[in-house]
Homo-oligomer: A and B are copies of this chain.
């Protein structure tokens, strides 16, 4: 087996708790403004618009755009859907930046520090660079490098993302491992020759849902947290 030299991480869901972070801020905002919003459903609806928006870029239907721009367009739709009309431009701008303030999972920072002691660690996210840099500063994420959709002008699962990451980090695809809580992302990485680590994130969509957490023999590693992955990798 080729030596693993670098790890690239999916971010939303794998590294940070987007659902809990967005729902929390929406709840606080609703209270401040005296609005009645189901914050859990609001967070899921916002996130739900994300993949269709990327797929429209991937199919060539719309031009490449930063996730910040997509998030804002989806937010407008979701606000209309939830009949929220009381937000100022400044409030909407601030709310849209909640994606820069997503909280790491409890094992994230300690796990990344251990993994960083042995490997190059980088994001490989559909988020934009500015968002990922701000998120890292807010959450104390110790990346060696920030690679994102705007680094390559593509979104995962386009091959340009996985192969581009190997090229930028000067490693062979088989020396690079994709770390993600989403099996489709790992399968696309594997198809491009990368190694794979599946991380179980049971609460990515909040409580009371039923995500697919089953380990798979097809993945190079299966782990319950970044600390478990660090342990398995001898960090």
Contacts and interface: CB of A to CB of B under 8 A. Distances in A.
Contacts of A133: 120, 122, 144-145, 169
Nearest to A119: B137
Contacts of A151: 151
A211 interface: no
A133 B122 CA distance: 10
DSSP majority for the A interface? Answer: helix
Chain copies in the assembled complex: 2
Interface residues of A, number: 20
Interface in A163-193: 168-171
Interface in A144-161: 144-146, 150-151
Interface of A: 68, 120, 122, 128-131, 133-134, 136-137, 144-146, 150-151, 168-171
- Nearest 10 CB-CB pairs, A to B? A130-B170, A129-B168, A133-B145, A145-B146, A133-B144, A130-B169, A120-B133, A137-B144, A150-B168, A130-B168
